[in-house]
């Protein structure tokens, strides 16, 4: 039954996505007061309708209307139409087409500032920063105090990592235009990237003082408070699988950002596992510090004290690990990690005192709406077993509001031995699945939601099985400081639980951010 629900969920979302992109006629159709339909062939009306479609990201329909308006319009109107088309092309990431169109307009009308601004933006989005700065500089040559051009240059400088120059640029705008929210928001973002959380928060709150409903500033302020801390988090979950394993988890977390080099996280987690008449308990105390060496490099060491108690053992020991992130170029990251940790998800794992040392390397690369990641790891288990695995993920961001992502995941695992000591240890295991995520917010960001579903297949021990997965999470912001979340997860995938069995999980969380 759950498998059918998951299947239909993904298909309904796909149908909605397809129908939302169906193109209508390239004519401006309006309904009169009498209820009859009339077709308006006026160029100005067609342009207005195209702008509405553009704002809704229905780019193909908007361009059809603009092409029709171009056929009917005078040469004077052609400029506005072509600028709209070039803008849409840049929004669709068709940068070279957009650049060529803006250049053609400027060859004929070199003084057209809208085309000049559009060309500068298209160059910057295409990563052609020097050309973009040149276009903005031409605008400043005629209008030295133009705030939009100065903001454009400052934004490019921040993308190039020239943060001090970007800050100076934004501040030069604010001297003459103190209420310019774009400049102040840009300044707040750059200060965040430089690690000045206090300064960034001050700039963001100044925007909210003048415009309390500014969504970008509200989201940035929330992110800054979460980043700066202090904050406290409580989490509870209850899960069970098809092999009669039950697990209840309680977790508390405290976080404080003391300075750019000391960002402390303290966790205390209790695990209560049961299967039929057997019971096991574990508690883990962890402390970790995220050290931001630079904007591109961060290192996070972790130390844990583990206490496991079952009917046949009572074990205490230290565990931990270290991870590092290194930013590659503009849109890539490299992750390296080492960890030594217990497996405590079932009674059998606690009884057998299974521990694993893992070494992993991951690479993430973003190219516009496409992100590609790959991860390889090697694990050594305390029962003299070992594991090698590889995972790759290709994701496509279909839309941003709400965020819709479709993707494909390939997993491969190979264990040296296949004893069953409480964890899933297949020989030559492969899994392939497609997934879809939908996330966003409603009621003016008071409620956030996130859902994910996947279907696919898995093969191991010479047998092939279908697999499916579904999870949903809702976060409610009760006030400025307190939020509550609840979630549900169902899986028929051997990769979602160490035991390899399908399972169901319910969770609840409460977060306080100062």
SS3 at position 395? strand
pLDDT value at residue 494: 73
Residues of the chain with pLDDT under 50: 1-5, 7-39
Phi then psi for residue 485, to 5 deg, are -135, 150
Q: Give, for 87, the enclosing helix (H) or strand (E).
A: helix 75-91
On whether residue 64 sits in a domain, the answer given is no
pLDDT value at residue 258: 79
Q: What are the tokens at 61? A: 């329909």
On whether residue 371 sits in a domain, the answer given is yes
Q: Give, for 371, the enclosing helix (H) or strand (E).
A: strand 370-381
Would you tell me how many other CB atoms lie within 10 Å of the CB of residue 480?
11
- Residues 471/476/477/478 CA torsion (nearest 10 deg): -150
Phi then psi for residue 380, to 5 deg, are -115, 130
On whether residue 431 sits in a domain, the answer given is yes
Instruction: Give residue for tokens 């690369």.
Output: 365
Query: How far apart are alpha carbons 46 and 72 in whole angstroms?
Result: 10
Rounded to a whole number of angstroms, the CA Rg of the chain reads 27
pLDDT value at residue 505: 94
On whether residue 471 sits in a domain, the answer given is yes
pLDDT value at residue 91: 83
pLDDT value at residue 51: 75
pLDDT value at residue 72: 66
pLDDT value at residue 76: 54
Counted domains in the chain = 1
pLDDT value at residue 327: 85
Closest CA to 446 of 237, 205, 218: 218
Q: In this predicted model, what pLDDT tens digit does every residue of 61-116 receive, in sequence order?
A: 777 777 777 666 665 567 878 888 888 888 888 889 999 989 999 998 888 989 99
On whether residue 208 sits in a domain, the answer given is no
pLDDT value at residue 57: 67
pLDDT value at residue 116: 93
Instruction: Give residue for tokens 């929330």.
Output: 222
User: Is-contact 42 28, C-beta < 8 A?
Assistant: yes
CATH number at residue 369: 2.40.160.40
On whether residue 219 sits in a domain, the answer given is no
- Quote the pTM value: 0.75
pLDDT value at residue 342: 94
**Within its chain, how far is the Cα of 392 from the centroid?**
17
On whether residue 508 sits in a domain, the answer given is yes
User: Is-contact 390 412, C-beta < 8 A?
Assistant: yes
Query: How far apart are alpha carbons 347 and 145 in whole angstroms?
Result: 69
What is the domain extent for residue 457? Answer: 229-513
Closest CA to 133 of 123, 125, 142: 123
Q: In this predicted model, what pLDDT tens digit does every residue of 284-297 receive, in sequence order?
A: 999 999 887 877 88
Closest CA to 378 of 344, 412, 343: 412
pLDDT value at residue 160: 87
On whether residue 454 sits in a domain, the answer given is yes
């Amino acid at each position: 039954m759950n498998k059918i629900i998951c299947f239909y969920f993904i298909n309904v979302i796909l149908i909605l996505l397809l129908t939302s992109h169906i193109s209508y006629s390239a004519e401006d159709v309006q309904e009169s007061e009498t209820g009859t339909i009339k077709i308006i062939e006026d160029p100005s009306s067609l342009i207005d309708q195209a702008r509405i479609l553009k704002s809704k990201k229905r780019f193909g329909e908007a361009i059809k209307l603009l092409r029709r308006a171009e056929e009917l319009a005078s040469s004077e109107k052609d400029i506005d139409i072509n600028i709209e088309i070039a803008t849409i092309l840049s929004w669709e990431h068709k940068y070279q087409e957009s650049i060529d169109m803006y250049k053609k307009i400027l060859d004929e009308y070199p003084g057209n500032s809208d085309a000049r601004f559009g060309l500068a933006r298209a160059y910057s989005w295409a990563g052609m920063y020097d050309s973009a700065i040149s276009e903005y500089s031409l605008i400043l040559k005629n209008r030295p105090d133009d705030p939009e051009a100065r903001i454009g240059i400052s934004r490019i400088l921040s993308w190039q990592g020239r943060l001090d120059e970007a800050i100076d640029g934004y501040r030069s705008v604010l001297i003459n235009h103190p209420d310019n929210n774009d400049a102040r928001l840009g300044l707040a973002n750059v200060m965040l990237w430089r690690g000045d959380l206090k300064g960034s928060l001050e700039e963001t709150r100044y925007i909210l003082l003048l415009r309390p409903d500014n969504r970008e500033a509200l989201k940035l302020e929330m992110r800054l408070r979460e980043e700066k801390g202090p904050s406290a988090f409580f989490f509870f979950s209850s899960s069970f699988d098809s092999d009669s394993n039950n697990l209840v988890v309680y977790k508390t977390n405290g976080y404080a950002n003391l300075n750019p080099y000391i960002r402390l996280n303290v966790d205390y987690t209790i695990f209560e596992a049961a299967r039929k008449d057997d019971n096991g308990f574990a508690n883990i105390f962890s402390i970790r510090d995220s050290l931001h060496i630079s904007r591109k490099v961060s290192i996070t060491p972790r130390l844990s004290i583990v206490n496991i108690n079952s009917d046949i053992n009572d074990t205490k020991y230290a565990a931990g690990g270290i991870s590092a992130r290194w930013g590659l170029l503009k849109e890539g990251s490299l992750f390296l990690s080492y960890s030594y940790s217990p497996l405590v998800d079932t009674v059998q794992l606690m009884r057998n005192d299974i521990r694993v040392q893992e070494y992993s390397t991951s690479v993430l690369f973003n190219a516009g709406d496409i992100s590609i990641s790959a991860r390889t790891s090697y694990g050594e288990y305390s029962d003299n077993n070992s594991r090698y695995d590889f995972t790759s993920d290709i994701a496509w961001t279909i839309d941003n509001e709400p965020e819709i992502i479709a993707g494909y995941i390939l997993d491969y695992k190979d264990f040296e031995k296949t004893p069953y000591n409480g964890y899933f240890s297949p020989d030559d295991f492969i899994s392939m699945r497609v997934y879809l995520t939908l996330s966003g917010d409603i009621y003016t960001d008071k409620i956030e939601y996130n859902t994910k579903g996947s279907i696919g297949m898995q093969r191991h021990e010479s047998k092939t099985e279908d697999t499916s997965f579904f999870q949903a999470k809702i976060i409610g912001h009760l006030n400025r400081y307190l939020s509550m979340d609840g979630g549900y997860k169902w899986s028929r995938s051997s990769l979602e639980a160490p035991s390899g069995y399908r399972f169901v999980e319910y969770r609840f969380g409460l977060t306080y951010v100062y």
